[in-house]
Chains A and B, each alone.
Chain A
Amino acid sequence: MANIAAQRIKREFKEVIKSEEVAKCAIKLELLNDSYTELKGEIAGPPDTPYEGGNFVLEIRVPETYPFNPPKVRFITKIWHPNISSVTGAICLDILKDQWAAAMTLRTVLLSLQALLSAAEPDDPQDAVVARQYKENLEMFKLTAKHWTNVYAGGPFVNSDCDDKIKRLIDMGIEEHQARVALSSYNWVLERATEQLFS
């Protein structure tokens, strides 16, 4: 690994550890190997959003050409968000692509992702299904996102209605996550989800 990248990640790592966001538990950064190429990030769901109370884990891969190229970041925790793929966790965020600047750091990236959670961009979607729901039925989107946060990110909001519907699909022999995706995609209408699953 290029020396400059390792040196910089080392410095950034120290900076993040000392930063006030870590003190407030808003972001977290962990090293996964000694060569500073793979890290684990964690962001707290921002308040007053469906993601409040959840903890979202991110996978960060630092390229050799860092900081002249952006780090590769994706969500490991499953999340219901127009700019984040509900399947792969891939993120659509300009600063992680063509708007990257060499002065940005892992800390600013994590904070930007947190900001992305509170301000989705449905017009530039990564997940078309989620984006459509966001635009057509915002309440349903919020409910779904809250449910996903509760299930995957440890959020406090429990929706028994959703759980019941998922349980019924599981009883039909559908895998839980698959059932949840189907129900979420069809605005929690059991019939349409079933139809889609068995068609």
Chain B
Amino acid sequence: MMQNIIIGQYVPGKSYVHNLDPRAKLLTTFLFVIIVFLANNWITYALLGAFTISAIVVSRIPIRFIYNGLKPILLIIILTFFLHVFLTKEGPLLFDLGFIEVYQGGVEQGVFISMRLLFLIMITSLLTLTTTPIDITVGLETLLGPFKRFGLPVHEFALMMSIALRFIPTLLEETEKIMKAQAARGAQFSSGPIKERLKSIVPLLVPLFVSAFKRAEDLAMAMEARGYRGGEGRTSIRLLKWEAKDSLLFVFLLVLSIALILLRS
């Protein structure tokens, strides 16, 4: 059960995608989210698909991890697909079931929207799967650096994020431990009527909150004890290096964008 949660689930590797500068990956993901909306016909969607799939292939992340990341939103994708199929009335009528009419435009729209969602989720999970949380944070902090001038607490934001990311596995581990302890006392989490199952969450959540607060206090204390005083003048031990391969990624992205603009209808 715990294995399905993909956030912060970094899969170590040495592929091209793994070795990219996190800033390059972050920017690419951000730009990809925008150019996904350029696609509006079969050929442009095929291009996006080719880009996404080759990114996954190059990263050598087992397909299972990508699928696990998709699982939670699969239902939403299916739902949007059918909403479009049944509600969009464009193009020639494909068939008529009496109570429901399906048009070609509807099917097309359904497929397009589902693909759009699929590609978005795949690319964003690829980012978290190939980049350590720490790298993402450092990347974000440098990318957002210029906004400090406008009073944006960039450092604090990055720190919060790295702490949150850092503690996801810890909390999951803790959850598993408490679940086991309560299961040993006869609690049942995965069977029985819904009402009972909801009630069984209390013995899990209360200890989890107690320990999370305690952890937070301990962490704050430990940081202060080691002289942490916020971001002012603080340098990072991780220096990001922008290399040719990172620029290459933008060439790919540029080519993709131009192709999309030229081929869209």
Is the A/B pair a real complex?
no
Residues of B within 8 A of A (CB): none
Chain A residues at the B interface, C-beta cutoff of 8 Å: none
